[in-house]
Chains A and B, each alone.
Chain A
Amino acid sequence: MAIVEVRDLYKSFSRGTERIEVLMDLNLDVEEGEFVALMGPSGSGKTTLLNLIAGLDGPTDGTITIGGQEISSLSESELARWRTRNVGFVFQFYNLLPVLSAYENVELPLLLLPMSKAERKQQVLNALEIVNLADRMSHRPGQLSGGQCQRVGIARAIVTDPTIIVADEPTGALDAKSADAALDLLNLLRSELGKTIMMVTHDPTAAKCAQRIVHLEKGRLVGSDTYNTALTASARPTHSI
């Protein structure tokens, strides 16, 4: 069953009088528990597609349905509420709040949900356990390495138990070792927790961790490679960025 359904999607931007078509007639299905990598050259529309699926932007035309909910027609505040529950976002540059500890960063989205304090604490601790950072929960981002920050970012993305996790170049700012660890973690989320993951990447090696690689070019879907089983980063012979 497709948890993400993209139908006849168009997205264009205006720059002065010029109209730039970023995505054109795009159709895509992502199954529940699937790990999909979006690849393509710069300007192909990968991040735009990811933003649309994450509800950060609205399409010019077409529909996007996530977990049975059509999000293309939701207002800004409805989308904000929807995102809290349904989308976990992993950023290239982690984007943790520097004034908050790892624990507080992970807890932040839960403050917007009707949840008891005990439940909240339990979920934050679980998420930090999954990313293996429970012992660093009181550290601020400035006191953590890049790889650790990204793991906190992943913990923040999964703490609300979202329908889908979207990751935009999650290894783009990491060294090879940390990148492998982050990819392993994403794979773990898919294999152990059954999470649906969509990841934008330029890195073919990173993309091979996904079960399917979707290629975009000039705003159109130009093909996809499907693997029966995703390779964990540690199982791959080499990693190059």
Chain B
Amino acid sequence: MDPSMMAGQSAPDLSLMQMAIYGAGIMFLAIFLNLMLAVASLPIFFASILAMFLGLKVLQDAPDPIGKFSKIGGLVFRNLLRNLLRTSLTYVALFVLTGMLTFIYGTVKFLGDFTAEKEDSQMVIMSEKFSIPSQMPPGYANQLKGVIETLPPSNRPRPLSDEERAKKGIATSPLGSIKAEELERLFVDDLDKNPASPQRQRFEQLAAQGIKENFMTWSFVGASLDPTKFTQENNLFLFALDPDAVTSGMMSEQGLNKEDLGDEGWAEMNRVIDLVKEDKQNIVVGEDRLKIIGKKVGDKVKFYSTNYKDITFECTIVGAFPASSRLAGGAAMRYDYLLSKLDGYQADAKNGGQPHPQANRCLNLAWVRMPNKISYQALAAKVNEPGKFNAPAAKMETFSAIVGSFLEPYKDIFWGMKYIIMPAIIAIMCLVIGITITIGVRERWAEMAVMKVLGFQPWQIMSMIISEAMLIGVFGGMLSTWGVYFLPRAIKYGTKAIGVKFAFFDNFNMPWQILIYGPALGLAVGLIGAALPSWNARKVKVSEVFAQVA
């Protein structure tokens, strides 16, 4: 989710017609790419079929019953290889349809995961209740921290334990070693209430650190490098925040974490953040944005705020957010630099001692990472208490709920994708395979009858036909989903090895489950699609077939 979306907190300004055009364009592109991939994978498909067939041929020399069954099984492969054009077309159709299904599934799952309410760690956001964009007084941040301090110990945000820090690549706590067991032991409601007790003192220390590590504020600063005009090539969108928010993992959702950036990228990000901490005028700009505005790391820039009128910032670019991160098109600055500029505005004699009009509305969002859903609900209840956060009124929501609200206008489209388009694609897949197998069975009607005459049981004939369908289905489903899963990764690592980087492939991550779902879907589609034709073949009436033939 692009963080700039949070700035407006409203649905994107797209009409349904535009959505339909974009959607159709993406669909056609996806179909075209899938088609190319399907055709390119045909040799793999036939090589696999041939390899399995040759494997069965080798097994035919094995002692019975393996040898015998291998001979009967070989018939399935011979039938598939009998009409290469039809088998190819069926495979290509299944490949493309599975690819489309995977694409839609990936999109729906991605959005579903994003909007799903989590039971464990909850990223919650306080924003203005009735106004978009949210603009709150900066004092709300400390007020919110104060509210958090009133929560019972079990509901307080906890500092990261040693294990979590090691896993996330976050530096050791200023409080020294913090064991997970210690947090479990101290963050309980029946903790000794005596302020002088060592347990209570340690808890207060940890709780204060917990708030520090699990709290951040965002202020949005729009700016232009040119005071007279605002264009795509000279504008900047900055997040004003405390640099510690990056190193404590609060910006993980925005792709600033060890997992997304890799060990080297994360180390570099920490180095850059250290530079930002050294001087409040140091800023970090996304790689994509740097290219657009024609700047590079090390450059000094002066920019003019568009939403903080008459405020000018003079900064040094000390680092870049990587192209793969969600901040590649944005930038970040220190919140205290924004505050000092606002203070400077009031202190400036030419402003007559008046505060900047935005001074009391410069806090856009306040984020808190709560340990679980219950603690979030406890905090939300406190925020909503009468008398608190009422000028202007604020609300507290989970990040996923906000994303959900953002996507609300499109929920019918997503519903349609999930419950109409996906089942429709599966139904088409069944029909494609069903038609192919029906044609095949019709062509071999007399052969089925002969097999029956020779003594083949109806279920044996049925199994052979279903096996043909399932083989095409499994390969179509498997190669399609595996292609969609592995190909972008191969491109990503391949291009990385030669020093080229494509942001698209860095972000294109399908869930690993598709590796199983693809072949399983192909298997199921083959089974369903072949059900009717194989049932007909099972029931073939020999005397009638030969009466027609004669």
- Seen from chain A, the residues whose Cβ lies within 8 Å of a Cβ on chain B are 47-48, 51, 54, 56-57, 76-77, 80-81, 83-85, 87, 89, 91-93, 95, 97-100, 104, 107-109, 111-112, 116-117, 156, 168-169, 172
The residue in chain B whose Cβ has the minimal distance to the Cβ of A96 is B450
Whether B454 pairs with A108 at a CB distance below 8 angstroms is yes
- Chain A residues in 8 Å Cβ range of B456: 80, 112
- Chain A residues in 8 Å Cβ range of B547: 47
B355 beta carbon closer than 8 Å to chain A: no
Say which size band chain B's interface belongs to.
Answer: 20 to 34
Whether A100 pairs with B78 at a CB distance below 8 angstroms is yes
Whether A77 pairs with B546 at a CB distance below 8 angstroms is no
- A56-B542, A104-B71, A117-B67 given as contacts; is B455 within 8 A of A83 (CB)? yes
Within 8 A of A (CB), among B438-487: 446-447, 449-458
- Chain B residues in 8 Å Cβ range of A107: 71
- Chain A residues in 8 Å Cβ range of B79: 99
- Least distance between A8 CB and chain B CB atoms (Å): 20
B498 beta carbon closer than 8 Å to chain A: no
Q: Which 3 A-B pairs have the closest CB atoms?
A: A84-B455, A99-B78, A95-B450
Whether B447 pairs with A95 at a CB distance below 8 angstroms is yes
Whether B454 pairs with A112 at a CB distance below 8 angstroms is yes
Contact of A77 among B78, B451, B458 (CB under 8 A): B458
- Seen from chain B, the residues whose Cβ lies within 8 Å of a Cβ on chain A are 63-64, 67-68, 71-72, 75, 78-79, 82, 446-447, 449-458, 541-543, 546-547, 549-550
- Chain B residues in 8 Å Cβ range of A111: 68, 71-72
- Chain B residues in 8 Å Cβ range of A100: 75, 78
Whether A97 pairs with B457 at a CB distance below 8 angstroms is no
Whether B446 pairs with A109 at a CB distance below 8 angstroms is no
6 further A-B contacts with Cβ under 8 Å, apart from A80-B452, A117-B68, are A80-B455, A83-B455, A84-B454, A84-B455, A116-B64, A172-B550
Contact of A47 among B63, B446, B550 (CB under 8 A): B550
- A95-B450, A117-B67 given as contacts; is B546 within 8 A of A81 (CB)? no
- Chain A residues in 8 Å Cβ range of B452: 56, 80
- Chain B residues in 8 Å Cβ range of A83: 453-455
The residue in chain A whose Cβ has the minimal distance to the Cβ of B446 is A95
- Least distance between A47 CB and chain B CB atoms (Å): 7
23 contacts between A and B (CB under 8 A): A47-B543, A47-B550, A54-B453, A56-B452, A56-B453, A80-B455, A80-B457, A81-B455, A83-B453, A83-B454, A83-B455, A87-B453, A89-B454, A93-B550, A95-B449, A99-B78, A99-B82, A100-B75, A111-B71, A112-B455, A112-B456, A117-B63, A169-B550
Whether B63 pairs with A51 at a CB distance below 8 angstroms is no
The residue in chain A whose Cβ has the minimal distance to the Cβ of B452 is A80
The residue in chain B whose Cβ has the minimal distance to the Cβ of A168 is B546
- A111-B71, A116-B64 given as contacts; is B455 within 8 A of A51 (CB)? no
CA distance in complex: A100, B64 (Å): 20
- Chain B residues in 8 Å Cβ range of A56: 452-453, 542-543
CA distance in complex: A92, B450 (Å): 12
- Least distance between B175 CB and chain A CB atoms (Å): 76
The residue in chain B whose Cβ has the minimal distance to the Cβ of A114 is B64
- Chain B residues in 8 Å Cβ range of A85: 455
CA distance in complex: A48, B78 (Å): 33
- Chain A residues in 8 Å Cβ range of B67: 117
- Chain A residues in 8 Å Cβ range of B82: 98-99
- Chain A residues in 8 Å Cβ range of B63: 117
CA distance in complex: A209, B293 (Å): 100
- Chain A residues in 8 Å Cβ range of B78: 99-100
The residue in chain B whose Cβ has the minimal distance to the Cβ of A56 is B542
- A56-B543, A117-B64 given as contacts; is B447 within 8 A of A97 (CB)? yes
Contact of A51 among B72, B446, B454, B543 (CB under 8 A): B543
The residue in chain B whose Cβ has the minimal distance to the Cβ of A173 is B550
The residue in chain B whose Cβ has the minimal distance to the Cβ of A81 is B455
CA distance in complex: A160, B458 (Å): 20
- Least distance between B70 CB and chain A CB atoms (Å): 10
Whether A91 pairs with B71 at a CB distance below 8 angstroms is no
The residue in chain B whose Cβ has the minimal distance to the Cβ of A95 is B450
CA distance in complex: A51, B452 (Å): 13
- Chain A residues in 8 Å Cβ range of B550: 47, 92-93, 168-169, 172
The residue in chain B whose Cβ has the minimal distance to the Cβ of A109 is B454
- A93-B549, A111-B72 given as contacts; is B543 within 8 A of A48 (CB)? yes
- Chain B residues in 8 Å Cβ range of A169: 550
Whether B450 pairs with A99 at a CB distance below 8 angstroms is no
CA distance in complex: A1, B472 (Å): 54
- A93-B549, A99-B82 given as contacts; is B457 within 8 A of A51 (CB)? no
The residue in chain A whose Cβ has the minimal distance to the Cβ of B450 is A95
- Chain B residues in 8 Å Cβ range of A92: 549-550
Q: Which of B446, B449, B543 has the largest count of A CB atoms less than 10 A from its CB?
A: B543
CA distance in complex: A91, B79 (Å): 22
- Least distance between B56 CB and chain A CB atoms (Å): 13
The residue in chain B whose Cβ has the minimal distance to the Cβ of A84 is B455
The residue in chain A whose Cβ has the minimal distance to the Cβ of B71 is A111
- Chain B residues in 8 Å Cβ range of A54: 453
Whether A91 pairs with B450 at a CB distance below 8 angstroms is yes
The residue in chain A whose Cβ has the minimal distance to the Cβ of B550 is A92
CA distance in complex: A95, B540 (Å): 15
The residue in chain B whose Cβ has the minimal distance to the Cβ of A166 is B453
- Chain A residues in 8 Å Cβ range of B450: 91, 95, 97
- Chain B residues in 8 Å Cβ range of A81: 455, 457
- Chain B residues in 8 Å Cβ range of A47: 543, 546-547, 550
- Least distance between B83 CB and chain A CB atoms (Å): 11
CA distance in complex: A85, B455 (Å): 8
CA distance in complex: A174, B417 (Å): 60
CA distance in complex: A54, B455 (Å): 11
Q: Which of A48, A97, A104 has the largest count of B CB atoms less than 10 A from its CB?
A: A97
Whether B454 pairs with A99 at a CB distance below 8 angstroms is no
Whether A77 pairs with B457 at a CB distance below 8 angstroms is yes
- Chain B residues in 8 Å Cβ range of A98: 82
The residue in chain B whose Cβ has the minimal distance to the Cβ of A57 is B543
Whether B453 pairs with A89 at a CB distance below 8 angstroms is yes
- Chain B residues in 8 Å Cβ range of A77: 457-458
CA distance in complex: A169, B75 (Å): 28
The residue in chain A whose Cβ has the minimal distance to the Cβ of B79 is A99
CA distance in complex: A61, B72 (Å): 36
CA distance in complex: A109, B75 (Å): 14
- Least distance between B541 CB and chain A CB atoms (Å): 8
- Chain B residues in 8 Å Cβ range of A80: 452, 455-458
- Chain B residues in 8 Å Cβ range of A57: 541-543
- Least distance between A164 CB and chain B CB atoms (Å): 13
- Least distance between A91 CB and chain B CB atoms (Å): 7
Q: Which of B75, B447, B453, B549 has the largest count of A CB atoms less than 10 A from its CB?
A: B453
The residue in chain A whose Cβ has the minimal distance to the Cβ of B60 is A117
